[in-house]
Amino acid sequence: MKDLAVHIKSFGCQMNKLDTALIASALQAAGFRLTDDVKEADAVLINTCSVREHAEERVYSHLGHLKHLKQYRPDLIVGVIGCMAQRLGDKLLEHEAVNIVCGPAQIPQIADLLREALVRAPKRAVVTDNIRQGGQDSNAALEEFESTYSAGEMPGQAFVRVMRGCNRFCTYCIVPYVRGPEACRPPEAIRQQVKRLADGGTRQVTLLGQTVNSYKYQSGNRTWCLADLLDMVGQVPGIEWVRFVTSYPYDEFYEHILGAMANSAKICHYLHMPAQSGSDRVLRAMNRHYTAGRYLELIERARAVVPDIAVAGDFIVGFPGETQEDFEATADLVRKARYKNSYIFKYSPRPGTAAQKRLADTVPADIKQQRNVELLAVQDRVSAELNQAFVSQQVVVLVEGPSKRQMRSDECETPSRALQNVEGRPAISPSKVQLVGRTSTDHIVVFDGSPSLAGSFVRVRITQASPLTLFGDLQP
Ligand code: 5AD
Ligand code: SF4
């Protein structure tokens, strides 16, 4: 077979990036070559996200470019995979550019689908009809795929999914409809996967799940929870740091997880626990099973057990019926929770969700935008204050690599660049460049050093802080 080149593009969350990395690894094992250059690719795969409308719009715009490219390259194969493929199925084949549609449960078939398409260029969709029915066979195939291929995205770091799907049905969210029901992976499969990763040089593992803190697995007469997994992964030789995302604010296993964090130097002091809103009325309409007061209690408990824990949140502004008073309750929660950072999203109705079916999208676009900016400003003040406390401290940092965007500490950071400050211009000097890394608490640290430090742990003395970034000097 001719050397076939595949270009893969990923739009979406960490789960989606993990799928992309697994697919890339599987395609290489099947004899395909990966390329960064669309122009030389025989096939382009787009891994899609459906969580917000904006993500889907970006995919359509990309498909528009590919349609144009196909006028000159009619043999080019285009595949759409992931959540949008699951949501739209066959309908996506109506787009002129699209040859293959492959749902998240069918990714183990991707190499075969590509080969078939490259030989005969058909249009074909493989998507589960009812993803919420799950099924042993599909789970077994996904489990094998997951544990066979590896997904180290950055030097020294890897993501490991511990559970798939979600059962919570927050009214705004499409995830339960496109990713299917909750399914927890066996601890032994996770341990073996982490061991292989550690043998290959991985030092930090991030355990992934939509509601990762609800992980539960019955093995013989033992019930495993996330705390047990964290301990188990921390004991794999070579693993230095273990983290987990994303947590749902609820009680079960909470003390165990915090206890594991307090007792093991390997479990990072970081909790990503979305609140979504600070208004009890809105939380009820979102089908989130807690009040703002209860949520704050959970954070207080975390700080009592792990005093330096850093907490990150997610918020949706402009949920149907959100009043100014509701929004102020959210701003109040952001001030009280003292998040390290918050990811803030404008509500967008997702087809098939309870909110889209039953609640009118009443908050005008300009008000959503205004609330988004205001909430970011509230968060920025909190972040700036918290980050200031790091100045003149030494921190341990796992180096990600050269910061693609060369930053100055006096540069003003706009909130929209939140946590994306690694984009932009490449580093200039090869011997010493601006590096970016993260602390165990997930704080971003920028400092000068050799690119060869990527994937290792270093000490940095913090000299300056802005709301999103700590700046410092590498210590010998
Ligand atoms: N509109 C806006 N934001 C959403 N999120 C999920 N669904 C929607 C939606 N329909 C946000 C939530 C979630 C994050 C991954 O995306 O804040 O935590
Ligand atoms: Fe979506 Fe809620 Fe599940 Fe998170 S917990 S994936 S917001 S349904």
pLDDT digits (tens, 9 = 90+) for 314-355: 999 999 999 999 999 999 999 999 999 999 999 999 999 999
Q: What pLDDT digit, counting tens, does each position of 104-133 carry?
A: 989 999 999 999 998 876 788 888 877 777
Nearest ligand to residue 319 Cα:
1
The predicted structure's pLDDT at residue 421: 35
Q: Is 315 in the pocket of ligand 2 (CB under 6 A)?
A: no
pLDDT on residue 152: 64
Looking from the CA of residue 355, the nearest atom of ligand 1 is 10
Predicted confidence at residue 119, as pLDDT, reads 84
Q: How far is CA 42 from CA 6, 30, 36, 76, 114, in A?
A: 6, 15, 12, 5, 10
Judged against a pLDDT cut of 60, whether residue 426 lies above it is answered with: no
335 contact partners, CB below 8 Å, separation of at least 6: 378, 382
Pocket of ligand 2 contains residue 277 by CB under 6 Å: no
The alpha carbon of 408 and the centre of ligand 1 are apart by a number of angstroms equal to 32
Give the residue with greater pLDDT, 135 vs 215.
Answer: 215
Q: Which of 59-63, 172-176, 409-413 has the lowest mean pLDDT?
A: 409-413
pLDDT value at residue 407: 63
CA of 214 to the centre of ligand 2 (A): 12
- Mean pLDDT of all residues in the chain? 91
What's the average model confidence in pLDDT over 413-422? 37
181-194 average pLDDT score: 95
Residues near ligand 1 (Cβ within 6 A) = 51-52, 172-173, 274, 276, 314, 316, 345, 347-348, 350
Q: CA 104 → CA 79, 124, 400, distances in Å?
A: 13, 15, 28
CA of 179, closest atom in ligand 2: 6
List pLDDT tens digits, range 249-284: 999 999 999 999 999 999 999 999 999 999 999 999
- C-beta 314 within 6 A of ligand 2: no
Ligand nearest to the CA of 276: 1
Residue 432, pLDDT score: 87
pLDDT band per the 50, 70, 90 thresholds, residue 297: very high
Mean pLDDT of 448-460: 97
Ligand 1 centre from 314 Cα, in Å?
8
289 lines ligand 2 (CB under 6 A): no
More confident residue, 138 or 294: 294
Residue 417 predicted with pLDDT over 90:
no
- Tell whether the model's pLDDT for residue 420 goes beyond 50: no
Instruction: Specify burial of residue 3 (Cβ count, 10 A radius: 0-12, 13-18, 19+).
Output: exposed
The structure tokens listed for 444 are 């971003």
Atom of ligand 2 lying closest to residue 246 CA: 4
Between the CA of 67 and the centroid of ligand 1 the distance, in Å, is 30
CA of 84 to the centre of ligand 1 (A): 15
Ligand nearest to the CA of 212: 2
Q: Mean pLDDT across the stretch 211-215?
A: 97
Q: Please give the number of the atom of ligand 2 that sits closest to the Cα of 176.
A: 8
Ligand 1 atom 15 nearest Cα: 51
- Across 406-433, average pLDDT: 49
Pocket mutation for ligand 1, best pick of 17, 168, 172, 178 (most atoms within 8 Å of C-beta)? 172
Q: Which amino acid residue places its CA nearest to atom 2 of ligand 2?
A: 170
What spacing in Å lies between the alpha carbon of 391 and ligand 1's midpoint?
34
pLDDT of residue 418 exceeding 80: no
Predicted pLDDT at 256: 97
Distance from Cα 284 to the centre of ligand 2, integer Å: 14
Give the residue carrying structure tokens 């047990």: 228
pLDDT at 12 over 70: yes
- Helix H or strand E segment including 45: strand 43-48
The tokens of 255 are what?
A: 């003390």
Measured distance CA(231)–CA(267) in Å, rounded: 8
Give the ligand whose atoms come closest to the C-alpha of residue 179: 2
